[in-house]
Chain A
């Protein structure tokens, strides 16, 4: 197979993907990987002569609701999978976001399963449940030499061999090309309700979220809209605590939660669902065009300090999820702002991801924290173990990797 520089290949099947990767490996041509292209604006831009799109690898290949397992080809839109699950009252527990609006994608449908797993994107339920990578039971993938390989399988408990499923999840296509993913899924709560609790500031908000999360009532979402932010008709500053379970449990637990954290109101059903969709997708951040967006992950108790510092230094706007542990930040797309975010994350012994920024900024700053030298050496060795020619998504996560 040969292709002109700047060309795009969209194979019809896994064998075609393997052939395209093998050809790129042999010819020394870097490949930019793409599911449905909705997250192209994330992290660093990939400089590659060829784009390999997984867009044509679609379809659910296996679904057994009673075993809570679903498999689909990597290019399948997440929306298609979620619709199939909803028919059987199931869902992807990690609640992966739809970032099209945030990342300025004009795609008509959601991002792909493979792309979402490659970015390990999880939503509000992450705080109590699992990350998307925790739900990846098995993958089929093509390594940098064009070999078709599997890791994991289709059963829930599997510790056989090294867990390459987790290694590939969140590797942003730099270690292998996912062609099929098997996920653990679970029941959707019969009923959902959210306690909306007005709070004075982030310190009070995180304290309220922590109270909810350390209660025995099975909270499944804990977010805070600061002053000035709003979503689905709910305006900040408010702490939000969600319950999802069988009918009787939600009734009982919401009464107890409301008693423990008085002064709030309860939103139910579709109103609650719309609220959490907005939070999942970082809509209340209302990032303006041209602004940069970061995700900062810290110990929840460190979040109020991070927020105070970033407001003071760079005039940041924020939104909190994961009980305060996830701080979404929007601010001017400047090197100065990026330095402030890096310093705030490091000061809180947390991590950051530059989620969105204009290209000149994305190529000139570390979009995720630098690794200590011993770990950076391991990153390079693991990259070489899977993609010895360095063909897959070069520079996506770090310059030179």
Chain B
């Protein structure tokens, strides 16, 4: 288990006073303090970790967020920002002495401009909610994390979320024009807006993916894009992961970059097929789902080229969708992958390393060996075009030994990702989950430099403590 810092004794001693102060800042039912009502906030998508907070604040405006932060800063109270609580890395895990600032009540769409191709939304608008607001005019918001039905744009900004289609359209950072954020002192700062590339330091780039370490985002200006005329998928199944990996390299080097290029290994294919009956070939060792965009005739041209590339790698089978319905059928298994694995195992850990795509066969072989050695099954699903690997490690949360083994296995996979030239996390964030692995990827001076940048915004380490950075300094565990 990963350690959390000890609660601040002075804060715990002044609990009632602090709660009364908070309640005065947000009228009505905007502050939760009763144990039973705090329960839903005690964890996020990394549900193996649970810790009820001191309180939950549910502001309805940037001004209220600023008031809460100013109050917490003055009183030395730690804060944990939270969107929908879908973080898979424990990014929204509370601390016993912290106030969770939940942004779900800030869910208004403030402005949409089709000629300027942008939308201004509050942080608690869901990812899919943005697309829903603009799709009537043929537009969409591009980053599409698996949790897009629930996850909120504020959380997407904090974690720099990705998705299956970022191969073409980029991740959250590449689709933002501006944010309004609040510093720990309660200062409201606007960055960017409707224009591209503000002069001055790239605050927008720094805050995106900062995991709540430097401020809380309350408003976001996103780029919206006109959707292509249509999209269509194909499926190609191969007899080994090496061959499928070589096919991925050939596709990426061909000059035709698909909008999505997904890879599943055999355990994942079987789990998905049993769950979704998508017609996946069960004798394949690896399967690629490839999607292209454009008009019908453009799709034919692109799929024809991709088919010809795949044919060079002796596929077991190929299926090119002839219609939108057939595309949906091809995607059905992949989109249900997490649920499918959840059905065959009581619990799973979803890992998120990135590797250079050429290392794919090597990494999958090593993961297979580790799986056998520790006795836990693993299914691999992978955004192959950009090297973002999602091994799903199956374990039983009721068995502490099984969980410990799963965590060790996961850490070993991430160390392997770094060893082959990749990184600890491609889109889920470091959070609490990968915090103690940071020294695997960064040298001590590199981490110290990042800490100094964080401290420029939050010298007291009140913003989302115990995430991202190994516990040191103001967060160091109490000596035994």
Contact = CB atoms under 8 A, between A and B. Distances in A.
A349 B227 CA distance: 28
B221 to A, nearest CB: 10
B277 interface: no
Given A149-B446, A216-B228, A299-B116, A162 B196 contact: no
B356 A67 contact: yes
Interface string B197-219: 11111111110111001100000
Contacts of B173: 134, 163, 166
A59 interface: no
Interface stretch (A31-39, A225-233, A246-254): A246-254
A325 B117 CA distance: 11
A187 B159 contact: no
Chain B contact-residue range equals 35 or more
Given A162-B206, A164-B450, A216-B227, A374 B189 contact: yes
B200 A397 contact: yes
B135 to A, nearest CB: 13
A56 interface: no
A298 interface: yes
A276 interface: no
B387 A301 contact: no
Contact of A252 (B138, B295, B454, B456): B295
A351 B457 contact: no
A151 interface: yes
Interface in A124-180: 126-127, 130-131, 133-134, 143, 147, 149-151, 153-167, 169-171, 175
Interface in A243-275: 246, 248-249, 252
A305 to B, nearest CB: 13
Interface in A297-316: 297-302
Interface in B249-305: 249-250, 252-257, 294-295, 297-298, 301-302, 305
B304 to A, nearest CB: 10
B45 to A, nearest CB: 15
Nearest to A354: B199
Nearest to A367: B199
Contacts of A192: none
B354 A67 contact: no
Q: From DSSP, what is the main secondary structure of chain B's interface residues? A: loop
A155 B423 contact: yes
A210 B115 CA distance: 6
Given A246-B301, A252-B295, A299-B194, A154 B421 contact: yes
A5 to B, nearest CB: 29
Contacts of B199: 170, 351-353, 368-369
A45 interface: no
A68 interface: yes
Nearest to B191: A375
A98 to B, nearest CB: 18
A246 B250 contact: no
A218 interface: yes
B232 to A, nearest CB: 14
A369 B205 contact: no
A78 to B, nearest CB: 18
B315 interface: no
B301 A249 contact: yes
B53 to A, nearest CB: 24
Interface string A105-139: 00000000000000010100011001101100000
B14 interface: no
A153 B201 contact: no
B454 A134 contact: no
A165 B173 CA distance: 12
B429 interface: yes
A64 B387 CA distance: 14
B450 A325 contact: no
B196 A326 contact: yes
B394 interface: no
B422 interface: yes
A350 B196 CA distance: 9
A218 B225 CA distance: 10
A1 interface: no
B116 A300 contact: yes
A252 B298 contact: yes
Contacts of B197: 120, 122, 126, 131, 170, 297, 351
Contacts of B115: 207, 210, 214, 300-301
Contacts of B438: 160-161
A125 to B, nearest CB: 12
B301 A155 contact: no
Contacts of B317: none
A289 interface: no
A171 B254 CA distance: 35
Contacts of A166: 173, 202, 204-206, 208
Contacts of A300: 115-116
A379 B226 CA distance: 36
B193 A322 contact: no
Interface string B53-91: 000000000000000000000000000000000000000
B455 interface: yes
A89 B255 CA distance: 8
B257 A187 contact: yes
B206 A66 contact: no
A301 B116 CA distance: 6
Interface string B408-451: 00000000000001111111111000100010011101110110
Contacts of A156: 354, 385-388
B430 A246 contact: no
Nearest to B386: A156
B446 A159 contact: no
Given A155-B422, A157-B171, A164-B453, A67 B252 contact: yes
Given A158-B425, A300-B115, A385-B456, 15 more contacts: A88-B253, A156-B354, A157-B171, A157-B386, A157-B387, A157-B427, A162-B206, A163-B206, A163-B209, A163-B210, A167-B205, A214-B114, A218-B294, A299-B118, A369-B200
16 contacts: A64-B358, A122-B197, A133-B205, A134-B173, A150-B443, A158-B354, A159-B171, A160-B438, A163-B160, A166-B205, A207-B115, A214-B114, A246-B255, A299-B113, A350-B194, A384-B456
Interface of B: 113-118, 138-139, 159-160, 162, 166, 170-171, 173-174, 183, 185, 187, 189, 193-206, 208-210, 213-214, 226-229, 249-250, 252-257, 294-295, 297-298, 301-302, 305, 354-358, 383, 385-388, 421-430, 434, 438, 441-443, 445-447, 449-450, 452-457, 468
Q: What 6 pairs across the A-B complex have the smallest Cβ distances?
A: A166-B205, A299-B194, A66-B253, A368-B199, A157-B426, A381-B456
